[in-house]
Structure formats: C-alpha cells, structure tokens
Amino acid sequence: MTNLMRCLTKPLFSKILLVLLSVFYLQAMADEKPQAEETPETGVVELPPFTPPLLTPAIALPADEQVRIASVFGTQNLKVYALPFEDKYPTGPFERLSANEYLFITKCGDIHFTKLENDELKLSRPAAQLRRYFPGHDDSTEESDPRNVVYCKDLSGVKDSLLVKNTLFVAYTTWDAQYNGVRLAVSEFELDAFNSEIIFKREIYLSRPAIKEPLLGHQVGGKLALGENDRTLFLSIGDFSKPDRVQDQKTSIGKVIKIDLQRLNAEVYATGFRSPSGGLLYDRESKELWLSEHGPRGGDEINLVREDKNYGWPIVSYGTIYERDGMHNYYGNKFNSHEGYEKPVMTFVPSVGIGPIAKYAHTGKNDYWDGDYFVAGMAANTLYRIKKEGTRLVYAEPVLTGYRIRDIKIDHDGNFYLKTDSNQLLVSE
C-alpha cells in the first residue's frame, strides 16, 4: 500500500492517470449519443446532432515546464520568447540577423527589427513597411510615390523570405492594376541592418496570369529556396484555388519556378502542385530539391522535386475532396491514387497541415539526427523528425507538440529557431 501511494504522488504517474481517466470519460460520453427518432412527416429515421463534450487537455504543463524537442534519439531544450509586437495573422516569415537580432515580416508587409536583451525580445525601432517608389501621379506634387507592395486581403500577403548576406528576397501577393488581378511576386531588397532598414532594389519575378477576385488568397505557395549556387532561386507557386489552370503550360499556376538571378530568366522546373505552401528546401549536400505541400482532404505530401516532372494535380491525389470544392472532375475521379505521375516520397493521411521543412546539419552533436529533416505539422501542432536514408524518407517521429510552427531555421551548429502562430519564437538553449 505504501509503494502504491508513493507512485500516486509521482508527477509522471499522475499525468498518465489523468490521460486514462480522460479516455474512459470520452468513451462513456460516446455511449450516451441520442437515440434515433422517427419524424412524423416523412417516417425517415434521423439522429439528432451529437456534440462531444469540450475537454481541457488532460495534461496541462506548468508554466515553468521545460520545453524541449524530445526524440527517441536525443533531446534539445528550447526557450520560449514572446514577440514584442502583436500580429493578428502571424503567418509571416522571419530572418536571423545575428546571434541576438531577428527580423520579422508580417503577413501585410510590416517590418519589425528585434533584439534579444536581458532574456527578452525587444523592438529595435518602430515598424516600417515593405515599400517601393513609383513615379508620382499626374495630379501629385511629388515626383515619387512610396507604396506598400503587398496585397493583403484575406489570406493573401507575404508568403516567405530568404536572406542571402545583405540581400533579402521576399515572396508576396501583389495587385496588378492593369490586369485587375493578383499575382505572386518576388522582389529583392537591400538589408541595412545597422540602420534597421529594408530598401527595395528590384522586382525579379511575377506569376502569370493575374488572378481575378474573388480570391481567398490560400493555395498560393510562395516558398523560396536558394539552389545549387547563390545565383539560382527556386519558387513554389500554388493553384490559387484554380486547379484547372495547373496543367496549362501557358500559366505559372501550380509550378515550381527556377530563376536565374543574374539574367532574371525564369523557367518552369516542375509542375502539378496544389498548395506548395509548406516549405521548400534545396539540399546542397545531396543536390536535391524537397517540397512540403498541402494536399486536399488528406494527402499532405513531401515531394522530391525533379526537373521536368509532373506531380499530377489536379488529376491524381492520395487525398480526397473537400465538400466546398464539388467534384469538377478533380483527380479524374481517381481518389487515393497517384498512378501515371510522380509520386510523393511521403504522404500524411489524415492531413497534418504540413508546414516548413529544414535540414539538421552534420554537427557532431547528435549523429542520429545528422542529415535528417524536420517538418512542421501546423494543424497537428507538432514538429516531426523525418528520418532520411538516401532519397527515402523512412519515418516521421513527433518530437515537439503543442505549437503551431510557421517557420523553422536550423543553423550549422544544430540550434533551432521556431516561429509559431501564437506570436512566439522558440530558440535552442
């Protein structure tokens, strides 16, 4: 009896007990669903809607509980920092400028330079915007007119950034007034870290065609990755919820684009993508381009993107269809199939809301993680370690839960920097 009481007072045992009690409670409630009733008008038997009970999480972590990436093959402690600004839709990217300085870009193009001081993230200067100068209007007294370049309606906005030395590439949706529609743009900015400024240099890419409203702004893609050298940039473009345009080679919809930064020449690298909005990674060690892509209802994918290959959307998918989409001959009615097209290396069913992908370098700290990938499941609020062997992704191990991770960076020393949709930055300790 004494030993039993000692077990009951141990924190781990108490947490396990809470989980078991919650499971029994849910099962009991499930057994109490309303009984079917016959409607007098039609005689049809109907079940009243059953609403499951709302439960708080069975395990509530204390405020001082250590946050850590916890794998079977090693752990890494994380420190959680609150961002020093409020972002209503915290889906924008961030860049690490130095050991204690970070740049955050909001969905609508606001720029926040921050610095880590006294164990707290602080703003280095008031927020500015991603702007460029246009010629002044005929009725204006100004020769130049500064404007925010980002079109920010609904889910449109800034999709990704990529810092290369003092050059910042930003992918964002922009409004084309001439053609009365939305395009995905990539522009080059100069980073002046000393003065905490971002200066527009040139626009290097515009998707085609301009997409007319109504447009929710999701399934745009817009992820960036530097290629085999610093002169090559890859860009993912989604279907803009216009799947019938993906297989049309006269559009850039549903394509991965390869951009020559010297000549500003762009070409289609691969096609057949729905919503490549998770992450894009070029692995210079293996010379492979990897893409995490939102599938339809089920069917989130990690793809090894090869030149001139077709990945099948909207003709095939391992997922099925959302009711809001209707049939529209999606996938040629081929559900749970990828025959005839390039297949994903890994698929998540049900969908995890796949997010960014990053590589853990050969650091000498953890041989078990070296060369593996880390991928966020945003809907699942989970970070996964993806075991990589050659071109195979062997398994997905959940290593951190409770955080909707929007952006991942892992430095050459194996330190993690994770931005969440709760206005947080998680940094390795």
pLDDT, one tens digit for every residue, the chain (429 residues): 445 444 444 444 444 444 444 434 334 433 333 333 333 333 333 333 322 233 223 233 444 589 999 999 999 999 999 999 988 889 999 999 999 999 999 999 999 999 999 999 999 988 899 999 988 877 778 888 888 999 999 899 999 999 999 999 999 999 999 999 999 999 999 999 889 999 999 999 999 999 998 877 779 999 999 999 999 999 999 999 888 899 999 999 999 999 999 999 999 999 999 999 999 999 999 999 999 999 988 889 999 999 999 999 988 888 877 655 554 555 444 667 888 999 999 999 889 999 999 999 999 899 999 999 999 999 999 999 999 999 999 999 999 999 999 999 999 999 999 999 999 999 999
The closest of 204, 147, 210, 205 to 176, measured between CA atoms, is: 210
Task: Quote the DSSP letter at residue 91.
Answer: -
pLDDT of residue 215: 76
Task: Quote the DSSP letter at residue 32.
Answer: T
The closest of 247, 248, 238, 257 to 331, measured between CA atoms, is: 247
Chain Cα centroid distance, residue 63: 27
pLDDT of residue 326: 53
Output the six-digit token pair for 114.
Answer: 């921050």
CATH number of 67-428: 2.120.10.30
The helix or strand, by DSSP H or E, that contains position 26, with its residue range, turns out to be helix 11-30
pLDDT of residue 328: 53
The closest of 170, 314, 331 to 246, measured between CA atoms, is: 314
Nearest-5° Cα angle at 31, 27 to 37: 155
The closest of 336, 349, 247 to 301, measured between CA atoms, is: 349
Question: How many other CB atoms are found less than 10 A from the CB of residue 49?
Answer: 7
Q: Is 64 helix (H, G, I), strand (E, B) or coil?
A: coil
Domain ranges of the chain: 67-428
The closest of 208, 374, 364 to 290, measured between CA atoms, is: 374
pLDDT of residue 127: 84
Output the six-digit token pair for 201.
Answer: 């240099």
Output the six-digit token pair for 256.
Answer: 């991965």
Contacts 24+ apart (CB under 8 A), 116-123: 116/81, 120/81, 120/84, 121/81, 121/82, 121/83, 121/84, 121/425, 122/84, 123/84, 123/85
How many whole angstroms separate alpha carbon 385 and alpha carbon 186?
30
Nearest-5° Cα angle at 176, 171 to 182: 60
Q: CB–CB of 405/357 below 8 Å?
A: no
pLDDT of residue 134: 86
pTM: 0.83
How many whole angstroms separate alpha carbon 416 and alpha carbon 408?
7
Task: Quote the DSSP letter at residue 220.
Answer: -
Place of tokens 């915290």: 90
For 340: left if phi > 0, alpha if psi spans -120 to 50, otherwise beta; the answer is: left
Output the six-digit token pair for 115.
Answer: 């610095």
DSSP string, 289-301: EEEEEE-SBS-EE
Find all residues with CB under 8 Å of 322, minimum gap 6, and list them.
Answer: 296, 297
Question: Sign of dihedral through CA atoms 404, 240, 288, 266?
Answer: negative
The helix or strand, by DSSP H or E, that contains position 352, with its residue range, turns out to be none
